[in-house]
Structure 1
């Protein structure tokens, strides 16, 4: 049985392109369900879900959307209906992937639709602004594929058809290759950086698997943190080990390497048992290929590779990060433990390391303890990468399993 792709586009302006995409998909043996998210006119291509159906799903009608009198408001309202319908079709198993096309207007809507769909559901956006700086990082679904719609702003041509064919093949291939998302073991969600910086997962993974858990480790360089928060929001984790908070401190200090203002909130809101540690919160990350952000140019900067570099936080910045972490941990609704490794929170933060800063670490730890609810805070006389830290994490987990806070794995 082949896959059905939900194809969304503005039928009043993109009918030729939508028909081309539909032909590409059916030509490869797939099926297509076409949704018109246009507002003003009738499409010339075949449509299965009309703009009137989309408006109705948003609790209005097409005339009501037009009456908003503003294209931004009209598209935002249309995206409500499109997101609702796409989510329902995916949940019912009637579509197995989604393909959307557009310029900035269609892409704005597409981002909302992607956010409404489950992580792992194939999503492809064919867009004139693929991964552009115009796109806020916190609106980009962590599993979305973007294909640049080159040469296709107005009408079909050879260059445009290449983009259309690539996008059609990408979504159909993804739908065919998608794996069953059924989890046969309770999952623990963990955050980290690469093992040159944080390596506790090497100690913890075999021990957690021996206890019957599956471990998913998320790389906290922006999109990884978004994926982590998305799954926590959907209650995908039996327990959270949020040990790399660099995205939170990056966002606080203006770095582009962040996961949005809601980082470190989803598990707390959902009441998921969580352990928290400030891994990586010694440094501010930046683009290695660009000039340092204002205020950081006079600091020592370490280039991790040609993409990402980092600079040491000053005392004030470390205290501010500790206060922000404490506020989010204090607001958690579920069982929470904040672990503070007193001997360092990053591999570079050791004696002889390039960013060893005992005074800054002590200030951070003191602020974190002062701002935390006393029963949530625990200091550990070890480095975050030491076996002693991992052993304490496992001891807390075992106590939570014993008292029923975390369900025992079969």
Structure 2
């Protein structure tokens, strides 16, 4: 079946705009497939999948939604249904790329469908809220959000240009993907976590593994980075991990802005893929500008990384608890696991004469790990700091050894 540009949105209130985009895509030679998520009235033009079907997939009849006349319930039902429908047509091989648009409600519904798709499928979402906090809509997927500038209400001089640009962008992505005859690669894909303060280590590990023929994905450990890596692990995309930078655990424990949630550091163990884990950047918790740091932390040690990022040094007790957390998570792992502990420092800031130098904090972190880690999990202590070449080489070599053993 030929892959098509899938348009998803409310054809009752945004039918004119969707018809405009549909026409633009078809003028580029791209076939379209339309999913209607409108609840209030009849669609402006006939879709391929009706809002009756979407509502049913979301758990309610469309007639019941209309009779309830409750916007919140309608959005929740159509959001669930949109994701279910998109998953189903993706499995049928229909989806070449997806276009969605709307205000807050339309963006929410469309985003759920786009997030249901694999990474790599072109996704464009034109939205009135794209200039604000887009994390709820993008999540950990490669969704391109375009700010509509004006409300999506008719075709006018400005909306015509913006919607045309979005349509042409999607057409280009779909057609380019179809025209490329990519050679099948047999490379095994691995994941690495990195922060600015662990870059030397991560870079050397990446280069070493690439030289051995592996394909490396590097994730910035800012919350979404850890989430994205672990989603790809669960999807079977990543076959081994150098989890150098586990700093997201500190933000989850203390309340920073870069938490990856309570299940961080669990995916590799559950997927039974080899993992080498270290303690990169557990010396810090991340906040925004100085004025955003909660009052409860007044008097702590801070470092202004840049105007929008304030780093706070973790305490001795926090480090001891972080060690316990890391160990307990790894104890649940069914995967080959090695822990590398660099006694000389866990980041570029946790070194002699640097802002977060902390011998006692590192010792507490080490004790938290050692006293709680399963006896059969290797804990290797090194005298150097995490960015020393010897540490990077040790991480890379242990992961290589485990990967080679897996293939025997």
Could you tell me which residue of structure 1 aligns to residue 142 of structure 2? 143
Note the 1:11-410 alignment, pairs <5 A: 11-58=11-58, 61-66=61-66, 70-130=70-130, 132-133=132-133, 135-136=135-136, 140-178=139-177, 183-194=185-196, 196-288=197-289, 291-381=292-382, 382-402=384-404, 404=405, 406-407=406-407
Q: Give the deviation of 1:284 after TM superposition.
A: 1.1
1:15 touches 1:43 (CA, 8 Å); kept in 2?
Answer: yes
Q: Give the deviation of 1:60 after TM superposition.
A: 5.1
Q: Give the deviation of 1:219 after TM superposition.
A: 1.4
Q: Give the deviation of 1:198 after TM superposition.
A: 3.2
Q: Give the deviation of 1:342 after TM superposition.
A: 1.8
Closer/same/farther in 2, CA of residues 182 and 60 from structure 1, 3 Å limit: farther
2:240 touches 2:403 (CA, 8 Å); kept in 1?
Answer: no
**Unaligned residue ranges in structure 2 (runs of 5+):** none
1:279 touches 1:346 (CA, 8 Å); kept in 2?
Answer: yes
Name the SS of the counterpart of 2:142 in structure 1. Answer: coil
C-alpha distance in structure 2 between counterparts of 1:298 and 1:163, whole Å: 49
When the two structures are aligned, how many residues end up with a matched partner?
404
CA-to-partner distance for each residue in 1:327-373, whole Å, 9 max, x for gaps?
Answer: 32222232222222222111221112221111111111111222222
Name the SS of the counterpart of 2:299 in structure 1. Answer: coil
User: Comparing 108-117 with 21-30, which one deviates more in the overlay?
Assistant: 21-30
CA-to-partner distance for each residue in 1:282-334, whole Å, 9 max, x for gaps?
Answer: 11112237533333443343233334231211223223322332232222232
CA-to-partner distance for each residue in 1:226-275, whole Å, 9 max, x for gaps?
Answer: 32122111011221111111223213322222333332222222222212
Name the SS of the counterpart of 1:375 in structure 2. Answer: coil
1:245 touches 1:279 (CA, 8 Å); kept in 2?
Answer: yes
Closer/same/farther in 2, CA of residues 182 and 344 from structure 1, 3 Å limit: farther
C-alpha distance in structure 2 between counterparts of 1:71 and 1:323, whole Å: 45
C-alpha distance in structure 1 between counterparts of 2:329 and 2:153, whole Å: 48
C-alpha distance in structure 2 between counterparts of 1:147 and 1:264, whole Å: 33
C-alpha distance in structure 1 between counterparts of 2:322 and 2:332, whole Å: 16
1:240 touches 1:274 (CA, 8 Å); kept in 2?
Answer: yes
2:3 touches 2:94 (CA, 8 Å); kept in 1?
Answer: no
**C-alpha root-mean-square deviation of aligned residues, in Å?**
2.8
Q: Give the deviation of 1:61 after TM superposition.
A: 3.7
2:30 is the alignment partner of 1:4: no
Q: TM-score, normalised by structure 2?
A: 0.89
1:124 touches 1:147 (CA, 8 Å); kept in 2?
Answer: yes
Name the SS of the counterpart of 1:262 in structure 2. Answer: coil
**Unaligned residue ranges in structure 1 (runs of 5+):** none
Q: Give the deviation of 1:122 after TM superposition.
A: 1.2
User: Comparing 100-109 with 287-296, which one deviates more in the overlay?
Assistant: 287-296
Closer/same/farther in 2, CA of residues 183 and 65 from structure 1, 3 Å limit: farther
C-alpha distance in structure 1 between counterparts of 2:330 and 2:67, whole Å: 45
Closer/same/farther in 2, CA of residues 351 and 224 from structure 1, 3 Å limit: same
Q: TM-score, normalised by structure 1?
A: 0.88
C-alpha distance in structure 1 between counterparts of 2:270 and 2:64, whole Å: 35
C-alpha distance in structure 2 between counterparts of 1:401 and 1:262, whole Å: 24
